[in-house]
Structure 1
């Protein structure tokens, strides 16, 4: 059980309407119902989301950033939700899913452009910045707007990992679990 009891049905009408669209008929995630218990927390969380259709990144690149970030942060909750919900849709192979948790940027599961993506995520998480060389490597593959989006995704999902860990959210029943090493 979470450290904060999630919002229970009946949900407030605005939250319920948003969940019907976002979750496409599935039950809302514990993360959402927990934050929605406090209007300001939910509003700020929802306002920071980068999961819209206007991303300069492909859906696949976006998901690789999210999966790698949450895996490196040890957030099985969010990693498992995203793998279950998006991995097949964006064409992640079993080897690539495994590599998001246990591989590095040189893992042969990734093509060269995605190796740069993984290296960029890892540099941001390890050093909280990009060196000139790391910036140039990212810019050789991604345009400026895409690199900024990568940075924002890493920051947002690092925050999501902190929220999930601090609230000790129980894993979703439909989510994937981290693969064994």
Structure 2
């Protein structure tokens, strides 16, 4: 594997401009330790991350379906591994998680098709948006779109800089593969 020009930053090299974020979300994961090469971006990222990851109208399980499918579509092993772990912690079954790689049934399938449309068609058709809004609410549709965008940006960074899966997540999935 080619060496990354921006590997995750260690505590010793952590930028002073974002020292206050090191002990929070930004210092916990390699994705943000990689992003720390651009401190202003990490600072700007924090409020949107709070909404997309924590305060989403999708709810946590729907959000994981969106993120997992986005990771699949972007070919991001980091996103897939980390969100398999998060989905399991939410109580989602391995069968439900694995189905996201293909085409699940029911609401999960509706969400997966929406992610695919956003990536392939650059938007939802009026009929698809209407069906989603009826099923999950219009505010959740906005958050679905924002989540795909947010995790696409992360996936582009992760893939570009070949960010390694965090050791604890790698060990967890090695001990209990999907």
Q: How would you bin the TM-score normalised by the shorter chain?
A: 0.7 to 0.9
1:169 corresponds in structure 2 to: 163
Provide runs of 4+ in structure 1 moved above 4 Å: 12-17
* 1:31–1:144 Cα change, 3 Å: same
Does the 8 A contact of 1:81 with 1:174 survive in 2?
no
Q: In 2, Cα distance between the equivalents of 1:142 and 1:35?
A: 32
Q: In 2, Cα distance between the equivalents of 1:19 and 1:100?
A: 32
Structure having the higher helix fraction is: 2
User: When the two structures are superposed, what TM-score results if normalisation uses the length of structure 1?
Assistant: 0.80
Structure 1 gaps of 5+ residues are none
Match of 1:136 among 118, 130, 133: 130
Q: How does 1:67-78 map to 2 (within 5 A)?
A: 67-78=68-79
State the number of aligned residues: 168
Q: In 1, Cα distance between the equivalents of 2:112 and 2:53?
A: 19
Structure 2 gaps of 5+ residues are none
Does the 8 A contact of 1:5 with 1:34 survive in 2?
yes
RMSD: 2.4
SS of equivalent residue, structure 1 residue 146: helix
SS of equivalent residue, structure 1 residue 161: helix
SS of equivalent residue, structure 1 residue 51: helix
Does the 8 A contact of 2:7 with 2:161 survive in 1?
no
Bigger RCO of structures 1 and 2 (CA < 8 A, at least 6 apart): 1
Q: How does 1:97-112 map to 2 (within 5 A)?
A: 97-101=97-101, 103-104=102-103, 107=104, 110=105, 112=106
